[in-house]
Structure 1
Amino acid sequence: MKQIVDDYSAALAAHDPKKVNIAPEVFFTENGHAFKPGESELWKGAGTWGEQNYLIDTERCGAVAFGVINENGRLIHAAIRLQTRDGGPITEIEHVLGRESEFMYNPQVVLATSHLDWENILPPDLRQSRALMAAAATDYFAMFAEQPLVNTPFAERCDRWENGIMTTPTHDCSPKGLVIKHPPPRVPLADVEAGLVAAFEHFAGNLADVHVFKMSGGRVQYAMAIVGPASPDPWVEREKNK
Structure 2
Amino acid sequence: MMTGPALMEEMGLYLAAMSVGDPSGLRFAPNFRLTENGRALGMGEGLWGCKPRFSGIQSFADALTGQIVCVGVAYVADQPRPFAQRLRIVEGELAEAEAIISTDSKGHFADVEQLLKPDILYQAMVPSHRRVDRDGLREVADRYWEGLEQSDGLIPRFNYRCDKYDNGAKTTNTLRTLLSADGKVHSCASALNDTRAARPKARERRFPVLDVELGVAASFVVVDFHPIPAHPRPDVGAMYMLGLFKVVDGEIRIIDEIREFLPLGTSAGWGEPPSLSGNVAHG
**Other-structure match for 2:173:** 169
**Other-structure match for 1:105:** 110
**Other-structure match for 2:40:** 34
Which 10-residue stretch deviates more, 73-82 or 182-191?
182-191
- Following TM superposition, by how much is the alpha carbon of 1:147 offset from its aligned partner in structure 2, in angstroms? 6.7
Letter paired with 2:212: V
Q: Is the Cα contact below 8 Å between 1:144 and 1:177 reproduced in 2? A: no
Which 10-residue stretch deviates more, 138-147 or 127-136?
138-147
Q: 1:16 aligns with which of 18, 22, 25?
A: 22
**Other-structure match for 1:218:** 250
- Secondary structure, aligned partner of 2:202: coil
Q: Is the Cα contact below 8 Å between 1:155 and 1:220 reproduced in 2? A: yes
The reply on whether 1:4 has 2:10 as its aligned counterpart is yes
Deviations 1:84-126 (CA, angstroms, capped at 9, x unpaired): 114x1010111011124898432112224x3432122222222
What is the rounded CA distance, in whole Å, between the counterparts of 1:147 and 1:71 in structure 2? 35
Larger Rg over CA atoms? 2
Letter paired with 1:168: T
Aligned residues: 238
Give unpaired runs (5+ residues) of structure 2.
Answer: 1-6, 175-185, 226-237
What is the rounded CA distance, in whole Å, between the counterparts of 1:155 and 1:56 in structure 2? 24
- Secondary structure, aligned partner of 2:123: coil
Deviations 1:9-43 (CA, angstroms, capped at 9, x unpaired): 11111111222222231111100000123312x11
The reply on whether 1:193 has 2:213 as its aligned counterpart is yes
- Following TM superposition, by how much is the alpha carbon of 1:183 offset from its aligned partner in structure 2, in angstroms? 2.0
What is the rounded CA distance, in whole Å, between the counterparts of 2:164 and 2:153 in structure 1? 22
Give unpaired runs (5+ residues) of structure 1.
Answer: none
Q: 2:203 aligns with which of 155, 180, 183?
A: 183
Q: Is the Cα contact below 8 Å between 2:105 and 2:112 reproduced in 1? A: no
Q: Is the Cα contact below 8 Å between 2:38 and 2:267 reproduced in 1? A: yes
More helix by share: 2
What is the rounded CA distance, in whole Å, between the counterparts of 1:229 and 1:145 in structure 2? 17
The alignment's TM-score, normalised by the length of structure 1, stands at 0.88
Deviations 1:46-84 (CA, angstroms, capped at 9, x unpaired): 433221111111222110011212222121111100011
Q: Is the Cα contact below 8 Å between 2:67 and 2:209 reproduced in 1? A: yes
Q: Is the Cα contact below 8 Å between 1:53 and 1:66 reproduced in 2? A: yes
Distance change (3 Å), C-alpha of 1:188 and 1:102: farther
Q: 1:126 aligns with which of 125, 130, 137?
A: 130
What is the rounded CA distance, in whole Å, between the counterparts of 2:140 and 2:119 in structure 1? 24
Identity %: 25
Letter paired with 2:207: V
Q: Is the Cα contact below 8 Å between 1:99 and 1:105 reproduced in 2? A: no
